[in-house]
């Protein structure tokens, strides 16, 4: 697609915001936005990340797209309130990373969860008859315990995903693999600690990251503004979002606001959809 007024975009910084859990819908939106950055020939990209992480495959696809874009566009990542696990992985696709001193980051590792409802099902008298093509086809079935062999299979899967994570950080941040392993044990740390570990380059705000991106692209940081690439929502969704913003300060049960309750519903959906999948996800 040929975009009109290309010179206008060449004087601006593209901005993409990644918030919440990284899964299918987020991956699709971000990949489309990155394609737009390339087509419109933006000289720089400000990547704002405020995410606890997400699924392994989706995080890897976004990271790979960012790496490809580095040849054409200067990329600066800004870690927000929380940029952990898969959020860190995506950040490795940026040439430079800025974090607030108090940003919660780290949680470098892989987790896989399954539910065992065997005792509950026994109490209510429910059982399942399973016909399968191989002994491991129903691995992580919720009506029985894992066998030792199944645990070994899943542990190997997790170990391989973990090694991919560590290797990516080591290459992106020019650190020894063993150095990364020393702090990639699932712990979380602040932006200030991340700077000391070599995970980020500078401490600062999103505005500091924007100015740095402008400087890297040879633009005037005082005059250059961001062009935020957002998914175009249907009119009804935009109206609903607008109404919700008006009641954002109203408190309900336990002090939770309406947007907070909606976010909780989204999180439950994410938990259910990713049950049994390897995740690069910070779980507080």
- Name the DSSP letter for residue 255: G
Residues 78, 83, 85, 161: which is the catalytic one?
A: 85
Rounded CA gap, 116 and 141, in Å?
8
Rounded to the nearest angstrom, the gap between the alpha carbon of residue 46 and the centroid of all alpha carbons in its chain is 15
Structure tokens that stand for 96 in this block: 């430079």
Residues 137, 151, 182, 245: which is the catalytic one?
A: 137
Q: How does DSSP assign 113-171, residue by residue?
A: -----HHHHHHHT-------SSTTTTTT-TTSPPPHHHHHHHHHHHHHHHHHHHHHHHH
- Is-catalytic flag, 137? yes
Rounded CA gap, 199 and 37, in Å?
25
Neighbours of 159 (CB within 10 A): 11
Give pairs for 261-264: CB < 8 Å, separation 24+: 263/20
Of 198, 37, 175, 225, nearest in space to 105 by CA: 198
The residues annotated as belonging to the active site are 85, 137
């Amino acid at each position: 697609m040929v975009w009109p007024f290309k010179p206008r975009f060449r004087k601006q910084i593209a901005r993409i915001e990644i918030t919440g859990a990284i899964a299918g819908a987020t991956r699709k939106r971000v990949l489309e936005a990155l394609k737009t950055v390339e087509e419109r020939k933006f000289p720089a990209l400000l990547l704002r990340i405020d995410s606890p992480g997400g699924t392994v495959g989706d995080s890897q696809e976004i990271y790979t797209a960012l790496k490809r874009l580095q040849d054409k566009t200067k990329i600066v990542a800004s870690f927000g309130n929380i940029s952990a696990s898969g959020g860190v992985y995506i950040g490795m696709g940026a040439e430079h990373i800025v974090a607030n001193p108090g940003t919660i980051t780290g949680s470098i590792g892989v987790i896989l969860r399954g539910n065992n409802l065997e005792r509950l099902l026994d109490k209510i008298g429910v059982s399942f008859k399973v016909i399968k093509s191989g002994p491991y086809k129903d691995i992580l079935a919720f009506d029985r315990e894992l066998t030792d062999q199944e645990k070994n299979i899943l542990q190997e899967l997790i170990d391989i995903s973990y090694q991919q994570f560590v290797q990516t950080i080591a290459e992106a941040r020019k650190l020894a693999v063993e150095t990364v392993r020393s702090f990639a044990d699932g712990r979380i740390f602040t932006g200030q600690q991340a700077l000391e570990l070599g995970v980020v380059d500078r401490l600062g705000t999103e505005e500091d990251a924007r100015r740095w991106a402008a400087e890297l692209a040879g633009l005037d940081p005082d005059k250059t503004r961001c062009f935020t690439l957002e998914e175009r929502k249907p009119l009804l969704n935009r109206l609903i979002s607008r109404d919700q913003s008006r009641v954002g300060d109203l408190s309900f049960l336990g002090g939770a606001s309406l947007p907070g309750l909606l976010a909780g519903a989204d999180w439950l959906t994410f938990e259910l959809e990713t049950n049994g999948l390897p995740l690069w996800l910070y779980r507080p």
